[in-house]
Amino acid sequence: MDKNITDKIELLQEKYALMGQDINSYLEGLLLSNYLTYWDYTQVETLLTLQNPKTDYPDELIFIMYHQITELYFKLSMHEFDQIGNNGKIMSESGQDIGWNEKLDADFFVERVTRINRYFEALTKSFEIMINGMAKEQFLKYRMALLPASGFQSAQYRMIEICSTDFINLVDKDVRDQYKGKNSSIEEMFQFIYWNKGATELESGKKTLTLKQFEQKYSKKFIALANEYKTKNLWQKYLSLPEADRKNPKVTNVLKELDVNVNVNWPLVHYKSAVRYLQQKEGDVPATGGTNWQKYLPPRFQKRIFYPEIWTAQEKEEWGKGWVETNVFRTN
Ligand code: HEM
């Protein structure tokens, strides 16, 4: 028998012995198992069963699928936050060591944050599918069957924010200074999370049903994640790099790009779609969440900034007003 093959069999024997398993049974299983197919590996058939519009308006399929596409990109982003947060380690559920060990240095940091930036750039570019890719008349009809669901309830969008920055930067900007530098708990700060303002009823000032349902389902998870990422969010990981790396423009620029991608560019294209579909001359169409979206959504009002330490006072002052795209350049 080819030596390559016998060598591999020996390695296999070691692998199984290590776990107290008998290689013979596994070889028998291998003899019986089927060849892998594309459709089984990608689970494409299951994937294509997950599009279930609530009405018969044809364009609702575009709406539901583009949300799903976005969530998949969000998941890809979370995959990178997970690896950066865990210093490049993959926590394999099988407990097997595949011998793949990255370490968190400047190159790894830049490469992985660039991946997230690429995903957000793809999302920003493709948002045109929402802005111009559906008939307004249809949208205004089928959206009524979707109440009170809203993209506001995307948990992964919030998880990306939590993994990107120190939690204080997600506290409503009007009360943020009261909590800064006070070592406040995540639980305390969570009560003033910025997004509460985006889901408060215009008339009564009460929490919308959209927010109540969102809180019931996810608040505990968000608080647990924020506690877990206190020491391993992207900003903390950046701070853990040697000083020379922290000063390297390649490193600071990927963080700046992320800040702009998540907090300005994507919110701006998203806002454009709300304007296209919901803005009317005689007063705006209320959003599905019943909020004042025009005052809430534009980045210049929210002023959500992940890395205030690396922007100048003027840049922060002019946040979301158009300078950012022309002022941040890719260096890698
Ligand atoms: C025609 C397309 C869209 C329109 C008209 C639209 C409209 C809105 C409006 C009005 C809000 C404010 C909250 C509310 O009152 O419901 C909102 C929030 C939000 N939407 Fe959309 N949306 C669209 C597509 C999407 C897509 C494709 C996603 C992808 C997941 C998305 C994710 C979000 C998120 C994450 C928020 C919360 C933003 C924040 O808190 O700053 N939206 N959207």
pLDDT tens, residue by residue, 60-87: 999 999 999 999 999 999 999 999 999 8
Which residue has a Cα nearest atom 38 of ligand 1? 152
Q: Is residue 156 part of a domain?
A: yes
Quick: pLDDT tens for 259-287.
999 999 999 999 999 999 998 765 566 65
Per the domain annotation, does 243 fall within a domain?
yes
pLDDT over 60 (residue 176): yes
Nearest Cα residue to atom 16 of ligand 1:
289
Which structural domain range is residue 236 located in? Answer: 61-89+101-327
How many of the other CB atoms lie within 10 Å of CB of 31?
7
CA 270 to ligand 1 centroid distance, Å: 7
Q: What is the mean pLDDT of residues 308-331?
A: 76
pLDDT-based confidence at residue 332 (cuts at 50, 70, 90)? very low
Residue 48 within a domain: no
**Per-residue pLDDT tens digits for 108-149:** 999 999 999 999 999 999 999 999 999 999 999 999 999 999
What count of other Cβ atoms lies within 10 Å of the Cβ of residue 198? Answer: 20
Question: What is 55-97 written as a DSSP string?
Answer: SS-TTHHHHHHHHHHHHHHHHHHHHHHHHHHTTT----TT---
Q: DSSP letter at 33?
A: P
Give the residue whose CA is nearest to atom 8 of ligand 1: 274
DSSP-derived letter for residue 193 is B
Cα 166 to middle of ligand 1, angstroms: 24
Residues with Cβ within 6 A of ligand 1?
A: 66-67, 70, 130, 150-152, 154, 157, 195, 198, 270, 273-274, 277-278, 287-289, 291, 293, 297
Span 5-58, pLDDT tens digits: 999 999 999 999 999 999 999 999 999 999 999 999 999 999 999 999 999 999
Would you say residue 50 lies in a domain? no
In a domain? residue 46? no
pLDDT of residue 20: 94
Look at the chain and report how many structural domains it folds into: 1
pLDDT at residue number 288: 61
Query: What is the CATH number for 212?
Result: 1.20.58
Distance of CA 288 from the midpoint of ligand 1 (Å) = 9
Q: What is the pLDDT of residue 111?
A: 97
**What is the structure's pLDDT at 287?**
59
Tell me what pLDDT residue 233 has.
Answer: 98
Does residue 14 form part of some domain? no
C-alpha distances (whole Å) from 140 to each of 21, 62, 174, 264 are 60, 14, 34, 26
